[in-house]
Amino acid sequence: MRATLLLLCCLAALPAQGEELIEIPTRPGVSLRFLLLEPPGPARANLVLLAGGEGLLKLSAGGEMGAGRGNFLVRTRQDWADMGFRVAVVDAPSDMPRGLLGDFRESPEHAADVAAVSGYLRRGAALPVWLAGTSRGTTSAAAVALNRPDAADGLLLTSSIDAGRGNLAHLPLERLTIPVLMIQHRRDECRASRPGNLGPVVDRLRADAPRELMLLDGGKNDGDPCQPWAWHGYNGIENRVLDLAGRWMLAHDRR
């Protein structure tokens, strides 16, 4: 029995079938790893998934994931691929072994890292690149699109940071001319992403560019309100979020 449990544990740590570990140089002396998932049929768009928290997956050279498995975007990566997206699940860069700390998500260095992933995806398929962030990953997605407009053709922001450090309202969002979809749980209790604080963020988005805010309800609320198994992480309503987001994103292909 013990041997069986150990085997199951080891198998759970391995990359899922169809995932490929990619490592690319992004800045002088810096590299970045990400998991690449190809759709089962023709690709419809490229998608870069940016996790919240410290943005740390601890991807090993063999593709094993040592952290972040429960994150909303990370745990649904195969579902995005099944919808027709070529998916890149991004780890922290080699010079940030403890994760994306401080204001790194808003830095030109972070933008260069994500832009390198975006460029890799474009070379594999000449399709739009969407940056999808959840929680603190929304700061990454918006900041990268502002610092490197060539890296993004659209943004998906889920459980946006709308208070405290990394607040999206502090960014010059009015400069964005690409489609932006925001999804938020109506009952999100995380102090940094309460739906009632979203007004200033939405107001900064241009009215002459495609934008929409979807407020959802339902699901389960387990554990820390800022962690992935609470309303903050769409626990129990993942399929609804993906269906709404996927349809909107593919309908706003601006090629």
Q: In this structure, what CATH number is given to the domain that contains residue 35?
A: 3.40.50.1820
Any domain includes 111: yes
Q: Which residues of the chain have pLDDT under 70?
A: 1-17, 254-255
Q: Which two tokens stand for residue 213?
A: 């805010």
Average pLDDT of the residues of the chain: 92
Q: Dihedrals φ, ψ of 48, to 5°?
A: -105, 120
Three-class SS state of 10 = helix
Any domain includes 235: yes
Residue 132 belongs to domain spanning: 21-251
Any domain includes 241: yes
Q: Computed from CA positions of residues 191, 195, 197, 201, in that sequence, does the dihedral angle turn out positive or negative?
A: positive
Q: Computed from CA positions of residues 20, 25, 27, 31, in that sequence, does the dihedral angle turn out positive or negative?
A: positive
Any domain includes 66: yes
pLDDT at position 227: 96
Q: How many domains does the chain have?
A: 1
Any domain includes 2: no
For residue 159, give Cα distances in angstroms to 80, 186, 201.
Answer: 18, 10, 12
Classify the phi-psi angles of 15: left when phi > 0, otherwise alpha if psi is within -120 to 50, otherwise beta. Answer: beta
Any domain includes 244: yes
193: closest CA among 159, 158, 228? 159
Strands in the chain per DSSP E: 19-27, 30-37, 45-50, 85-90, 129-134, 154-158, 180-185, 211-216
pLDDT at position 17: 55
Sort strands 30-37 and 19-27 into parallel, antiparallel or unpaired.
Answer: antiparallel
For residue 208, give Cα distances in angstroms to 121, 142, 154, 176, 213.
Answer: 28, 17, 14, 10, 15
Paired with 131 in beta bridges are 48, 155
CB 1 within 8 A of CB 10: no
Any domain includes 130: yes
Q: To 5 degrees, how large is the angle CA 28–CA 31–CA 32?
A: 140
pLDDT at position 62: 92
Any domain includes 9: no
